[in-house]
């Protein structure tokens, strides 16, 4: 069986679509009006977690780029 490789944009789109379907299903299954309160609180917590993780990944990427730039500058600078 072959393994499917997707780029980051496709993975993000699939995850976003599945999350949207999950929130819609939760909204339909929870009773009114408390279901909305629980659902929106859960959505807020998940969105904060996603934002925190994306910020952390962005910081890691910047640190890698800065380290690579420093290494390149160190190689090209005369002794």
Query: 29-47 burial, b for 16+ CB within 10 Å, e for fewer?
Result: eeeeeeeeeebeeeeeeee
Range of the domain at 71: 8-76
Which two tokens mark 47? 């969105």
The answer to whether residue 68 is domain-embedded is yes
Residue 1 · residue 9 · CB < 8 Å: no
Q: What is the C-alpha separation between 66 and 38, in angstroms, rounded?
A: 42
For residue 20, being part of any structural domain is answered with: yes
> The whole model's pTM is what?
0.56
Residue 3 domain-assigned? Answer: no
Q: At what angle do helices 8-29 and 34-76 cross, to 10 degrees?
A: 160
Q: Residue 1 domain-assigned?
A: no
- Identify whether 53 is part of a domain: yes
Q: Which two tokens stand for residue 67?
A: 């380290």
> What tens digit of pLDDT does each residue of 23-62 get?
788 878 888 887 788 888 888 888 888 888 888 888 888 8
Model confidence at 6, pLDDT cuts 50, 70, 90, reads low
Across residues 9-20, what is the average pLDDT?
75
Please indicate, yes or no, if residue 19 is contained in any of the structural domains. Answer: yes
Say how many domains are in the chain: 1
The confidence score (pLDDT) of residue 5 equals 65
């Amino acid at each position: 069986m072959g393994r499917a490789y997707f780029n980051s944009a496709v993975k993000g789109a699939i995850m976003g679509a599945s999350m949207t379907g999950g929130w819609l299903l939760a909204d339909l299954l929870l009773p009114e009006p408390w279901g909305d309160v629980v659902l929106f609180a859960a959505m807020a917590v998940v969105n904060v977690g996603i934002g925190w993780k994306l910020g952390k990944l962005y910081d890691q990427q910047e640190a890698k780029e800065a380290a690579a730039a420093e290494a390149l500058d160190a190689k090209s600078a005369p002794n």
